[in-house]
Amino acid sequence: MQARKVPMRMCTGCREMKPKKELVRVVKTNTGEIFLDLTGKKSGRGAYVCRNVECFKKARKQKGFERAFSCAIPDEVYQKMEEEMQASE
């Protein structure tokens, strides 16, 4: 029996390829709403980041999410996502 292929995704903070299950998905919906998707199943454009706050801050500083979603992201959205990230750790 063949081993299943593990889906790999790149972290927008540290830019390392990691298994999809080790990362948190950030979603931009059709309406333009941006939020953390801890389940990884919500519909919309997705970008991935490691489950630690340091990678999230690095992605914010490098504007990784803004590049992935091709739009400006307000500070309030970043703060809300960072609080959710800290709560999930």
Q: Band of the pLDDT at 3, cuts 50, 70, 90?
A: confident
Q: Band of the pLDDT at 1, cuts 50, 70, 90?
A: confident
- Per-residue pLDDT at 20: 93
- Per-residue pLDDT at 87: 87
> Is 68 part of a structural domain of the chain?
yes
The β-bridge partners of 87 are none
Q: How many domains does the chain have?
A: 1
> Is 36 part of a structural domain of the chain?
yes
Q: Which range marks the domain in which residue 36 is found?
A: 8-88
> Is 44 part of a structural domain of the chain?
yes
The 10s digit of each residue's pLDDT in 65-86 is 999 999 999 999 999 999 998 8
DSSP code string of 46-86:
EEEEESSHHHHHHHHHTTHHHHHHTS---HHHHHHHHHHHH
Task: Quote the mean pLDDT of the chain.
Answer: 93
> Is 2 part of a structural domain of the chain?
no
C-alpha distances in angstroms, 67 versus 1, 64, 80? 41, 5, 19
The CA distance from 2 to 15, in Å, is: 29
> Is 41 part of a structural domain of the chain?
yes
Please report, for the domain that includes residue 31, its CATH number: 3.30.1230.10
> Is 1 part of a structural domain of the chain?
no
